[in-house]
Amino acid sequence: MDQLDQASQKKLTPFILKVSVVAAIGGLLFGYDTAVIAGVIGYLEIKFNLSPLMVGWAASSAIWGCVFGVLFTGYISDRIGRKKSLIITAILFFISSILAALSTDLNEFIIARFIGGLGIGAASMLSPLYISEIAPAKNRGTLVSLYQLAIVIGINLIYFVNLKISNYGDQTWNVEYGWRYMLASGMIPAFFFFILLFFVPESPRWLIKNKKSDEGLEILTKVNGVEKAKEILAEIENSLTSENGTLSELFKPGMRMAMIIGIVLAMFSQITGINAIIYYAPEIFKTAGFGAESALMQTVVIGLVNTLFTFVAIWLIDQVGRKKLLIGGLIGMAISLTAIAICYHFDLANGPLLLVFILCYIASFASSLGPIPWVIISEIFPTKTRGIAMSFATVVLWIGVVLITQLTPIMLKNFGGAPTFSIFMVNTLILLYFTWKFIPETRQKTLEEIEATWKKHA
Looking up residue 346, the CATH number of its domain turns out to be 1.20.1250.20
Q: Is residue 3 part of a domain?
A: no
**pLDDT at res. 381:** 86
**pLDDT at res. 243:** 57
Q: Is residue 15 part of a domain?
A: yes
**pLDDT at res. 302:** 83
Q: Which helix (H) or strand (E) holds 224?
A: helix 213-224
The amino acid sitting at 206 is: W
**Considering its fold, how many domains does the chain have in total?**
1
Q: Is residue 4 part of a domain?
A: no
**Residue predicted with more confidence, 27 or 386:** 27
Q: Is residue 142 part of a domain?
A: yes
The overall average pLDDT reported for the chain is 87
Measured in whole angstroms, the distance separating CA 335 from the mean position of its chain's CA atoms is 23
Q: Is residue 1 part of a domain?
A: no
pLDDT at 114 over 50: yes
The amino acid sitting at 86 is: L
pLDDT at 97 over 60: yes
Burial class (CB in 10 A: 0-12, 13-18, 19+), 14: exposed
The amino acid sitting at 134 is: I
The amino acid sitting at 35 is: A
Q: Give Dmax over CA atoms of the chain in angstroms.
A: 68
Q: Is residue 36 part of a domain?
A: yes
pLDDT digits (tens, 9 = 90+) for 352-361: 788 899 999 9
CA distances from residue 280 to 60, 204, 275, 408 in whole angstroms, order as listed? 11, 40, 8, 8
CB neighbour list of residue 246: distance below 8 Å, 6 or more residues apart: 385, 388
**What value, to the nearest 5°, has the Cα angle with vertex 321 and ends 444 and 435?**
120
Q: Which of 40-54, 97-111, 227-241 has the lowest mean pLDDT?
A: 227-241
What is the DSSP secondary structure assignment for residue 185, as one 8-state letter? T
**C-alpha–C-alpha distance, residues 118 and 38, integer Å:** 19
Q: Is residue 172 part of a domain?
A: yes
**Residue predicted with more confidence, 217 or 239:** 217
**pLDDT at res. 244:** 57
pLDDT grade for 8, boundaries at 50, 70 and 90 = very low
**Number of neighbouring beta carbons within 10 Å of residue 304:** 16
Q: Which domain holds residue 251?
A: 11-456
pLDDT grade for 293, boundaries at 50, 70 and 90 = low
**pLDDT at res. 290:** 66
Q: Is residue 372 part of a domain?
A: yes
Phi, psi of 157 (to 5 degrees): -65, -45
**C-alpha–C-alpha distance, residues 117 and 131, integer Å:** 21
Nearest to 28 by CA among 189, 247, 263, 208: 189
pTM exceeding 0.95: no
**C-alpha–C-alpha distance, residues 157 and 137, integer Å:** 31
**C-alpha–C-alpha distance, residues 71 and 276, integer Å:** 23
What DSSP assignment string belongs to 132-174? Answer: HHHS-GGGHHHHHHHHHHHHHHHHHHHHHHHHHHHHHS-HHHI
**C-alpha–C-alpha distance, residues 382 and 458, integer Å:** 14
Measured in whole angstroms, the distance separating CA 369 from the mean position of its chain's CA atoms is 10
pLDDT at 269 over 80: yes
**Residue predicted with more confidence, 347 or 178:** 178
pLDDT digits (tens, 9 = 90+) for 403-458: 887 788 788 888 888 999 999 999 999 999 999 999 989 888 888 888 887 766 65
The amino acid sitting at 150 is: A
pLDDT digits (tens, 9 = 90+) for 137-194: 888 999 999 998 999 899 888 988 998 999 998 999 999 999 999 999 999 999 999 9
**Number of neighbouring beta carbons within 10 Å of residue 51:** 10
